Structure 1
Amino acid sequence: MKIYTIGFTKKTARKFFELLKNNGIDTLIDVRLNNTSQLAGFAKSPDIEYFLKEICDINYIHDSTFAPTDKLLKDYKNKSVSWEVYEQTFAEIMNLRQIEDYIKNKYNFLEDKNICLLCSEDIAEKCHRRLVAQYFARLFKTSVNHL
């Protein structure tokens, strides 16, 4: 398995889909809590699933199990919590959700595929998709590439 992450913010549709296609992505896993916002443009559901299949022949999965809670997301966006607190709280949430067992049970079928985790942030450094990617990387003993 090769693991990639991508954010749609500050990317044109052309750039976004070319990055996925040029990196041989087989399945995109949308880890956003809310994937239907009109602010997401080409990346809102159900449009993104159609575009991925038609433009790149990429499968789409939306899995909010990997998303932060609404409260944590709002607290971070409102600057009520720092990134460090966000990371720690997110890890606690993932632990409660038994995320490693969840990944093994639900995503083992992708072991020989190239997957990409989608969120909105343009840079992965302070985005939960980077944290989720680390779980996948540990379990499947591979590295992560941020597009």
Structure 2
Amino acid sequence: MNLFTIGFTKKKAKDFFETLVLSKVEKVFDVRLNNVSQLAGFSKKDDLKYFLKKIGNIDYEHLTIFAPTQEILDKYKKNKGEWSIYEKEYIDLLQERSNQIRSNSYDFDNSCFLCSEEKPHFCHRRLAAEFLKKEYSLDINIIHL
């Protein structure tokens, strides 16, 4: 199973959509808490859903079950918190949501977790993908685009 992750910051729309299409992504799971207030116009929920379908026949779903809470986000972003604390709080949150995640039985094969961060190193999309692989013992090949 291939599970991709991608961020849109510092990406031109052309590069962003071509990367998804060339990678044969079938569905984008938007794991941002807020998907309407980003700076990149093509990344707003309704626009993104339209462009994904029109350009690459890629489905879209806003999946907030993998989004951090506003409190966790604010402590890290606004208050310039430490990554290690953010990471622990976010993983704990996923543990709390584990039964809900499991009960929805999402199909993650050839799907992509989307967030705004340019790189996956300090982004919850990477943590979410790694959590799925470890928590559910899934044979997931995680690919960061």
Preserved contact between residue 4 and residue 113 of structure 2 (Cα < 8 Å): yes
SS in 2 for 1:121: coil
Deviation digits for residues 84-112 of structure 1 (CA, Å, limit 9, x no counterpart): 000011111111112xx43333244x26x
* Identity percentage of aligned residues: 43
The CA deviation at 1:58 is: 0.4
How many Å separate the matches in 2 of 1:84 and 1:25? 30
Moved over 3 A (4+): 101-104
SS where residue 118 of structure 1 aligns?
strand
Pairwise CA RMSD = 1.4
Which 10-residue stretch deviates more, 88-97 or 72-81?
A: 72-81
Does 2:17 align with 1:17?
yes
Cα pair distance change 1:123/1:38, threshold 3 Å? closer
1:62 CA displacement: 0.3
Q: Counterpart of 2:124?
A: 128
1:25/1:115 contact within 8 Å kept: yes
Query: What residue ranges of structure 1 are gaps of 5+ in the alignment?
Result: none
TM-score norm. by structure 1 comes to 0.90
**Structure 1 counterpart of 2:95, one-letter code:** N
Aligned equivalents of 2:9 and 2:113: distance in 1?
A: 14
**Counterpart check, 1:116 vs 2:112:** yes
Change (3 A) 1:135 1:38: closer
Higher deviation after alignment, 77-86 or 8-17: 77-86
Deviation digits for residues 98-137 of structure 1 (CA, Å, limit 9, x no counterpart): 2xx43333244x26x3010000000000000000111233
Deviation at 1:80, TM superposition (A): 4.2
Check the 8 A contact 1:31/1:62 in 2, yes or no. yes
- From 117, 136, 141, the equivalent of 2:139 is 141
In the alignment, the residues of structure 2 paired with residue 37 and residue 129 of structure 1 have an alpha-carbon distance, to the nearest angstrom, of 18
Query: Contact (CA 8 Å) 1:31, 1:118: kept in 2 or not?
Result: yes
Distance 1:2 1:38, change over 3 A: closer
1:52-131 superposed matches below 5 A? 52-98=52-98, 101-108=99-106, 110=107, 113-131=109-127
- Indicate if the aligned counterparts of 1:103 and 1:136 stay in contact, CA closer than 8 A: no
Counting matched residue pairs gives 143
Cα distance in structure 1, aligned partners of 2:101 and 2:141: 16
Q: Tell me which moved more, 68-77 or 114-123.
A: 68-77
Q: Identify the range of structure 1 (73-82 vs 24-33) with the bigger mean alpha-carbon deviation.
A: 73-82
Which one has a larger percent helix, Structure 1 or Structure 2? 1
TM-superposed CA distance for 1:79, in Å, is 3.9
Query: Normalization by structure 2: what TM-score?
Result: 0.92
